[in-house]
Amino acid sequence: MSTLFYFIVTIGVLVSFHEFGHFWVARKVGVKVLRFSVGFGRVLWSYRKAPETTEYVISAIPLGGYVKMVDEREGEVKSEDLPYAFNRQKLSARSAIVAAGPIFNLILAVVLFWVVLVVGEEGTRPILGKIEAGTLAAEAGLLEGDEFVAVNDKRTPTWAETLNVLIGTALGGDRKIKLLVKDRQGREEVRWIKFSEADVDDPEKLYKRLGFTPWMPRLRPVIDKVLPEGAALAAGVKPGDIVISADGTPIADWQQWVEYVKNRPGRPITAEVERDGARRTLTITPKVVEMPPTVKGEAPKAEGKIGASVVIPEEVRSALQVKYALGPLAAVPAAFTRTYDYSFSTLKMMGKMVLGQASVKNLSGPISIAQYAGESAEIGFMPFLKFIALVSVSLGILNLLPIPVLDGGHLLFFGIEAIKGEPLSEKSQLFFQQIGIAILVTLMALGMVMDIQRLFQ
């Protein structure tokens, strides 16, 4: 229910800003707006100050919205309203109204990124853990204990920011990326990480190929959280349990336990745990999870997962946590830069998918968006705002694509009108809109298929 709630909040905010852009500019250029709706379908709530003013509506299906303007193409218009009809406005005015929606989404992203930068982001310090042979990290000469300082000269103070910038840059087309790292002695050095086309075909494989794992100090094998539907919960493992041994082998620390489980996918483990001072024997069968290969040409490798996390002492957590914030003025250009970078990466990725140079696994549908909304909100308010900003960028860029039915498609029609000196015929517009609807339905169906596949992985 919380996931559904945050999904509705996310869509509600994004749709409201998008439609407000159309609404605000329409009012400014003199077009009469009949209805401003957040959502489609049956009206749940409406408000109208007077019969001749705009009706504000919240509808039952929260997957979009619309602004209904006076327009002779959509029905009979009263003679007194003809000067305020959309179709009678200058081409520049109509273009401004249509472009305002996606532009407002990008403006929203800038504002949200600014808030996040000023309030500050908390995260884990990007210190590398064990480096496995054959990974891109090993090929770049990175060592355990190296801490990332910047990626392509962009400061990356947290793990999340490091991975976002690195993977986003790689998926955006860069095949050689500059890393500034600080070693255990505090010396800063430059490393270069190189990607092949095969590396960037699938984001999940790319992450595995990188071989980036966060550094963790030696921790006692004390269970913190037990995930629902995991092998640990099914076996009766509870928070606070201390793992003493596995199949008779003493377990000294959490990393040893993780490695033991990882190497036994689908094989029962007889674990001895201590709970409330008493020892118990539990049989845990790790779930089989197929992991992408770290070395090109290798077959996927199965690993065991039980769905449990470790207790991290507060002093250790504090040492690994970092907060990154900018002043109000310094955050302005940084917010614009973030919005531009994400917009550019989104466009490049879309282009690669169209050309068949990137996997359709990069597509996300409403199920994934809902999951990410819930997960980011669970982490904290700032991560949730950042998530909304990222989706707002995607929504803005998507709507500017020259696909009929989308705002970009209407702008394409206006461009043709500017060249021809007259609008496209209604028959031609209808034909291209049908093609646009087919493209959108296909993309939505593909996104749903990708979502469902992720659910069962």
In angstroms, how far is CA 391 from the centroid of its own chain? 7
Q: At what angle do helices 366-379 and 2-28 cross, to 10 degrees?
A: 100
- The stretches of 2-63 forming alpha helices (DSSP H) are 2-28
Q: With CA atoms as reference, report the closest residue to 334 among 120, 103, 100.
A: 120
Q: What percent of the residues of the chain are helix, what percent strand, and what percent coil, each to the nearest 5? A: 50, 20, 30
Q: At what angle do helices 159-171 and 331-354 cross, to 10 degrees?
A: 40
Residues 6+ apart with CB under 8 A from 238: 223, 226, 275
Q: With CA atoms as reference, report the closest residue to 305 among 233, 221, 219.
A: 233
Catalytic residue among 19, 121, 147, 161: 19
**Number of helices and strands (H, E) in the chain?**
13, 16
Residues in the chain: 457
CA distance 350 to 64: 21
The separation between the first and the last C-alpha atoms of the chain, rounded to the nearest angstrom, is 22
CA distance 305 to 266: 9
Half-sphere exposure of 411 (CA within 13 A, CB side): 17
Residues 6+ apart with CB under 8 A from 207: 163, 167
In which element (H, E) is residue 269 found?
strand 269-275
- Cβ count near 286 (within 10 Å): 25
| Dihedral over Cα of 8, 14, 17, 20: its sign | negative
CA distance 223 to 242: 6
CA distance 1 to 432: 39
CA distance 313 to 12: 39
The Cα-based distances of 224 to 164, 220, 307 in angstroms read: 27, 11, 11
Token pair listed for 120: 């500050």
Q: Are 19 and 13 in contact (CB under 8 A)?
A: no
Clarify whether 188 is annotated catalytic: no
By annotation, the residues acting in catalysis are: 19
